[in-house]
Structure 1
Amino acid sequence: MNNPTIGNNISNKKIPVRIAFIKPDGTPNIISLWYEQIDGKIFCATQKSAKIVSYLQNNPKCGFEIATDTPPYMGTRGTGTAKIINDDGEKILTILMNKYLGDKKSILSEFLKNNSKSEIAIEITPSKIFNYDYSQRMKDV
């Protein structure tokens, strides 16, 4: 697949991406983060001190899923390569806050703004994507 993208059925929903990664001891783990798709890549933001940063730097191969938790089930899952971008954290966080929180002032939005200087960006370049939508088969659920 040359330019895999997140399906239109899921890309604008305010749900997190679940990122699967391998810890240095070889065990798998998953983290949920806010995301936005920009130019075919998945972008997230997190604190520089978050363990996921060192885990992805150690092994950038990852899996991901963006999916609804209630019927009708739909989503996107795939694999890709993660890259840590130190200089774009604050910019990506602003994009994510607009998507997930809008203009609404809250304790969370103020906390995130106050800590935005120590954010980094995670860029995932998908290598394989599978989009699914079970709306038709679950329309009576």
Structure 2
Amino acid sequence: MKLSAKSAWDTPSILHFLNDVTIPIRIAVNKGDSPVICSLWYAFDAEAEAFMCVSHESSHLIELLKQNHRCAFEVAPNDPPYHGVRGQGRASLTRAGAGDALKALTERYLGDTNQELARWLLDRADQEYLIRLKPVWISSWDYGRRMESV
């Protein structure tokens, strides 16, 4: 994983951010002339240097990633001060481990809340794909100083 020279944060700071926040990753995949953007729950595996996401077999994203494994990504909160991580990577798809990843992501994002949604998602675990998104390059930005008054 190559860290951009323009990154506001070093690699340990990026890894800390990715492990601490529970906001979805936005993944962009080209479809013809235009990108398609999809938000997914993720966990970052620092040892594998890869994002782990899960998506249903009938999702448009899975269809697109089967045709084109190159994508861009961003993890950033919507509220100021604006900061986050973005980059480009390559996605691989597998059914192996998708159920375990879905369970871990459900616990990470829902915790003890919304058990009805958790049950619904986990009941479909055998219809999911595990997406491993391995960054080719990664960068961060942080407008905290210039937005201190916000």
Is the TM-score greater than 0.5? Answer: yes
Root-mean-square deviation (CA, aligned residues, Å) is 1.9
Q: Work out whether 1:12 is the aligned partner of 2:20.
A: yes
Among residues 38, 48, 56, which one is paired with 1:31 in the alignment? 38
| 2:81 alignment partner in structure 1 | 72
Q: Deviation at 1:54?
A: 2.0
Question: SS of the residue aligned with 1:9?
Answer: helix
Question: SS of the residue aligned with 2:102?
Answer: helix
Q: Work out whether 1:117 is the aligned partner of 2:117.
A: no
What is the percent sequence identity of the aligned residues? 34
| Aligned residues of 1:10 and 1:67 also touching (Cα < 8 A) | no
Question: SS of the residue aligned with 2:17?
Answer: coil
Tell me how far apart the structure 2 counterparts of residues 30 and 105 of structure 1 sit (CA, whole Å).
25
Decide which moves more: 12-21 or 105-114. Answer: 105-114
Tell me how far apart the structure 1 counterparts of residues 21 and 116 of structure 2 sit (CA, whole Å).
22
Q: Which runs of 5+ in 1 are unaligned?
A: none
Tell me how far apart the structure 1 counterparts of residues 121 and 22 of structure 2 sit (CA, whole Å).
17
**TM-score, normalised relative to structure 2:** 0.84
Q: Which runs of 5+ in 2 are unaligned?
A: 5-10
Decide which moves more: 7-16 or 65-74. Answer: 7-16
Moved over 4 A (4+): 1-6
Question: SS of the residue aligned with 1:87?
Answer: coil
Seen in structure 2, the aligned counterparts of structure 1 residues 51 and 117 have a Cα distance that, compared at 3 Å, is: same
Tell me how far apart the structure 2 counterparts of residues 98 and 133 of structure 1 sit (CA, whole Å).
28
| 1:21 alignment partner in structure 2 | 29
Q: Deviations over 1:4-23 (max 9, x none)?
A: 85812343211100000012
Tell me how far apart the structure 2 counterparts of residues 11 and 76 of structure 1 sit (CA, whole Å).
12
| 2:145 alignment partner in structure 1 | 136
Question: SS of the residue aligned with 1:22?
Answer: strand
Q: How many residues align structurally?
A: 140
Question: SS of the residue aligned with 1:18?
Answer: strand
